[in-house]
Amino acid sequence: MVDQYSPPEREPEREAEGPMLMNRRSFLAGAGGVALTTLLAGCQRGTDANLRLAMLANSVPAQLLRAFQQLGDQGGNVAVNPQDSLVKLYSLLQGWHHPPDGATVAPVADWVSLADYWLAPAIQQNLIKPLNVSSLTSWKSLAPVWPELVRRSAEGLPSTDGDIWAMPYRWSHLVLLYDATRLPRDQALSTWADLLRPELTRRVILPDHPRLVIGLAQKAVGASANSADPDAVQGLKPFLNDLHQQVRAYDTDHYLEALIVGDATAVVGWSDDVLPLLKQYQQLAAVVPPEGTLLSAQLWVQSEAIPEQSPLALNWLDFCLGDDFAKQLAIYGQSTSPSLWGVGPNDLPQPLQQPATQVLLPEVADQSEFLLPLTPEAEARYSDLWQNLRSKAQT
């Protein structure tokens, strides 16, 4: 059975976690997971577990944890340390790297879940170590986008000859979610530029994060979300200024609730957060703009405090790359496995096929991007642009 063992008492260092720190729901696993204790009666004692996972709560549905435990010689007893934020997961890695004097530290997990945005700082601070994926049966069948995402230099930057530092196990994409009943008839939203329509003035909620807002604006004007100098992107500043006038709030925590109760007409959110709502609220609609969107992946990383990868730990990675994992993740987690990258709508597991407008089509996926680490100079440019934007009064 799955055991939930306690996290350390240490609070994370807020300024050291990573560039442009993301808060609780930023790059958070979707709301469609089922609580572990709901499905698994009883608990395996933490001391008896031979595989420990530290992850966002419900980022791996309980059904999949149970399926792994039932694999016989290939599986094992799993203990889970569930956290409600990436900050706390990052804090675990920091605590294992530099155990605080006199503080209680959770047992070191075999695998820790991080979002791809946090991979670079984890490498730079020597919190994790490279993985040996040569024995993973499905690794070579993954689309090239995944090895490219996690192959990094010792400085955490993408590198064609770097090491593999993580293994992705689920991903999502930003979508434009709106209440169709609050728009003129037959005036559906379809592009990022549609956020500038007059009827959406002060009726839009955007993520409270500079890279996400500036990134989607760059996609809107036909530029890369990872431009080294956003000030040099033609048309970006006028678009951002116009977009800012449309914004009711920058909110990463309660944007979905605001849309449901009518405080907003359109919001930008992650596909695995949005999908359960689309099935519950018929007035809501979602679209993936054809000019491309932003992507986020959940990764398994290994703490540098782990002596070596055990065979069972590698079995877990193989399990997460399998077809059964992909199907059950879609059913119970309403999220997408890396093995489904580039798959057409009709070939996706049924829970991910509808509504068709929120599916990331292969041709749109080709135009979409993960947020990659920036140089300190580039990061400062984004921060300055964000601060200048937020200081502007909304009329």
Tokens 């986008």 belong to which residue?
145
With both helix axes pointing from N to C terminus, report the angle between 236-246 and 210-220 in degrees, rounded to the nearest 10: 120
Cα 93 to Cα 197: distance, rounded to the nearest angstrom: 45
The confidence score (pLDDT) of residue 322 equals 93
Would the CA dihedral through 193, 278, 86, 249 be positive or negative?
positive
Contact 289, 41 (CB under 8 A): no
Q: In 214-293, at which residue ranges do the beta strands (DSSP E only) sit? A: 247-250, 266-270, 284-287
Contact 215, 187 (CB under 8 A): no
Which residues lie closer than 8 Å to 348 by C-beta, 6 or more apart? Answer: 330, 336, 340, 359
Tokens 């799955």 belong to which residue?
2
Please tell me what DSSP assigns to residue 342: T
Provide the 10 A C-beta neighbour count for residue 282.
9
The confidence score (pLDDT) of residue 23 equals 39
The confidence score (pLDDT) of residue 102 equals 63
Burial class (CB in 10 A: 0-12, 13-18, 19+), 147: middle
One digit per residue, the tens of pLDDT, for the chain of length 395 reads: 443 333 333 333 333 334 444 433 333 333 333 333 333 333 344 456 789 999 998 899 999 999 999 887 777 789 999 998 999 999 999 999 888 766 677 889 999 999 999 999 999 999 999 999 998 988 999 999 999 999 999 999 999 999 999 999 999 999 999 999 999 887 899 999 999 999 999 999 999 999 999 999 999 999 999 999 999 999 999 999 999 999 999 998 899 999 999 999 999 999 999 988 988 899 999 999 999 999 999 999 999 999 888 889 999 999 999 999 999 999 998 899 999 999 988 899 998 988 888 899 999 999 999 999 999 999 999 999 999 999 987 76
Contact 349, 325 (CB under 8 A): no
Token output for 274:
């949005």
With both helix axes pointing from N to C terminus, report the angle between 210-220 and 376-390 in degrees, rounded to the nearest 10: 90
Cα 217 to Cα 152: distance, rounded to the nearest angstrom: 27
Residue 123, helix vs strand vs coil: helix
pTM of this structure:
0.87
Please tell me what DSSP assigns to residue 107: P
Cα 24 to Cα 31: distance, rounded to the nearest angstrom: 13
